[in-house]
Each structure stands twice: as C-alpha cells, then as structure tokens.
Structure 1
Amino acid sequence: MTPEFRKAKEQDATQIWSILEKAIARRKADGSEQWQNGYPNPEIVESDINKGYGYILADGETMIGYCAVMINDEPAYADIKGQWLTDGDFVVYHRVAIAEAYLGKGMAQEMMRQIENYALTHHISSIRVDTNFDNKGMLHLFDKLGYTYCGEVILAGAPRKAYEKVLPKK
C-alpha cells in the first residue's frame, strides 16, 4: 500500500477531528502534557483546511492520518534558544496524528516522508518541527528519521524541543 498525501477538504474535518481526539486521549494516557489544554480543537482543523495547511494521508477513502504543513510560517521559530542548522526557507508541520487502526504500522514515518517530498517539490531543503519534552513517540521518530536537535522554542507559553532536518537536494 502506498498511501496518498493530499490537501484536506472541508468534508474531511469531522474525520480529522475524530483522529485528533483519540490522539489527544493517547497523549493523556501516556502521561504527556501535550495537547491537554484545549488545543488542537475543531476550530484549528477548520482554520487549517481553510488556509490550505491541512493534509491527510489516505488509503483510498480511508483516512490514515492528519497534519498541518506550512512554509516559513512559525513565528516562534525566529526566537530559538539554540541555533537552526540553516537560514532561509523551511517547511514546518504541526498536529501530526495517526488513526488508531494504523498505529504501529509506520504511518507516522510515511507521513514524514511525504512532508519531505512536499518540501522538495517546493524547492525547500529544510524541515523544522517542535514537540513537547514528554512526547516520547515523536522524539523517537525525529531521532530515527535523522532530525537534529537545535534548541528550545516557546509555543503557547511553554518550552518545546525544536528540531531540523536538512534534506539532500535532488
């Protein structure tokens, strides 16, 4: 199976929110503080879709996962305690969530590979991302996929671990 990575549509919003709700519950069950303060929420999903930031990973009509992908659009990254690996354009992604039925099947890695392809098709070789200090799953993925820890950024008033991956130019 090679999943499709595509822009989310308005009619996807309910299913996206369902995936995010379950991910929020998993974060809580894992003892993580991430996503435990009313964010993300259905309004964020709607905004992502309206701005063209929302992307889904799908197997036909079945939604596998969701994320928001932007170019040069994370103001908090300008004030890093540390240093980014590159200057210039970057792709940033947030709100990565995989549907329960697809957990443990490498779909978060697949989504991140798709985001890398997205960056390269936009002639961008830098991907920046952040996560909570206690999100063990994402921290493991960043390590596994060759991301470099660059320092801390503050998002929503809380420190977050910031990472960058520099892609080989094709």
Structure 2
Amino acid sequence: MKSPEIHFRKAEKEDRDAIWKIIQQSIERRRLDGSSQWQNGYPNLSTVESDIEKKFGYVLTIDDTIAVYVALIFNDEPAYSTIEGAWLTNGEFVVIHRVAVSEQFAGQGLVKKLFDYIEDFVKSEHVSSIKVDTNYDNTAMLKILESKGYTYCGEVYLQGGVRKAFEKVLM
C-alpha cells in the first residue's frame, strides 16, 4: 500500500468552498465540545475569502484533497501588542490562526503534522518565532501546543474573549 501524498501549499481561490466546508465542520465540532470558541459568526466565508486574497490561507492536502486549513500571518496581530504576561521575543513572527481539520481526516494527527510543515516554512522565510492563541476550553489544541514545545506566555484578547497565548522560538 503506497503512503498518501501530503503537501503544504498556499490556498487558491478554487479552494474556497472546500475550506469553508472544513471551517463549518470545525465550528460545529467546537459547539458539540461545549466550547464558546467560533460560536459568534467568526470565522465566516468572508474571513476565508480575505485569507485567500491576502495570501494568508494555507492548506495541507492528502492525495490532493484538502485535509487541514490554516491562516499564517506575518508580523501582524494587533491583539498581540497587548499581552497580560510576556512574549519570549520581540522580533519578526508568524501568527497561526484558524486551524481547521476536515471531518474526513479528523483524529489522524494531521494538526501535529501541519505544525511541522508550518515550522519548516517559517524557518525557510528566516523568521524565528511563531505565536498562536487558543480558547481556554480548546483542549485538543492546548495538548498539541504542549506536545510541539510551545511556551505559554499569558493572555491576549481577541474577538471579545480572553485567549491563552503561546510562542515557540525556532532559531
């Protein structure tokens, strides 16, 4: 049995509907888990369109099927300028937002794999730090961040809510 072909690439306009479907599945999964994250109309279809247009959107594909979506934003997250706590670094960074896994691929460890691809990509861009936040009740993401060596730095405020903020220094 041949192993699946996995690729990490920028999202394209024609990926929009598949990405939106995956985000809708993730919104529902967060709701079923009893989380308040993503339950207020964000992210939405225009978020996806904006991510693609601004070249923030990336996908992890398995045999050409989109399995995971993520937004990667270089040096720009206004909410991160104010943190209750302290970031590890003050230089250039990449922010990870809107990680969403297709139901078809859920439970296969793909977000951990995604983080490996992101880290390699960020290093290739000569950026030494990744920052990310998540909801207090997103236990799946909290476990992934811990397993991938992210350091808890404090709290930030996004979309009217408090988020746990993490950073990983790559170089």
TM class, shorter-chain normalised? over 0.9
1:15-164 equivalences under 5 Å are 15-164=18-167
Kindly state the Cα deviation for residue 61 of structure 1 after the two structures are TM-superposed: 2.1
- State how far apart, in whole Å, the 1-side matches of 2:120 and 2:134 are: 21
- State how far apart, in whole Å, the 1-side matches of 2:40 and 2:116 are: 29
**SS of residue paired to 1:116:** helix
What RMSD, in angstroms, separates the aligned Cα atoms of the two structures?
Answer: 0.9
Kindly state the Cα deviation for residue 151 of structure 1 after the two structures are TM-superposed: 0.2
**SS of residue paired to 1:27:** helix
- State how far apart, in whole Å, the 2-side matches of 1:113 and 1:73 are: 21
Percent of residue pairs identical: 52
TM-score w.r.t. length of structure 2: 0.96
Kindly state the Cα deviation for residue 118 of structure 1 after the two structures are TM-superposed: 1.4
TM-score w.r.t. length of structure 1: 0.96
Q: Deviations over 1:5-55 (max 9, x none)?
A: 101011100000000000000000000000000000000000000000000
- State how far apart, in whole Å, the 2-side matches of 1:151 and 1:59 are: 35
Kindly state the Cα deviation for residue 60 of structure 1 after the two structures are TM-superposed: 3.1
- State how far apart, in whole Å, the 2-side matches of 1:60 and 1:11 are: 17
- State how far apart, in whole Å, the 2-side matches of 1:166 and 1:61 are: 31
Q: Unaligned regions of 5+ residues in structure 1, if any?
A: none
**SS of residue paired to 2:59:** strand
- State how far apart, in whole Å, the 1-side matches of 2:115 and 2:132 are: 11
Confirm or deny: 8 A CA contact 2:74 2:95 kept in the other structure: yes
* Matching residue's letter, 2:35: S
Structure 1 stretches of 4+ moved >3 Å: none
What is the aligned residue count?
168
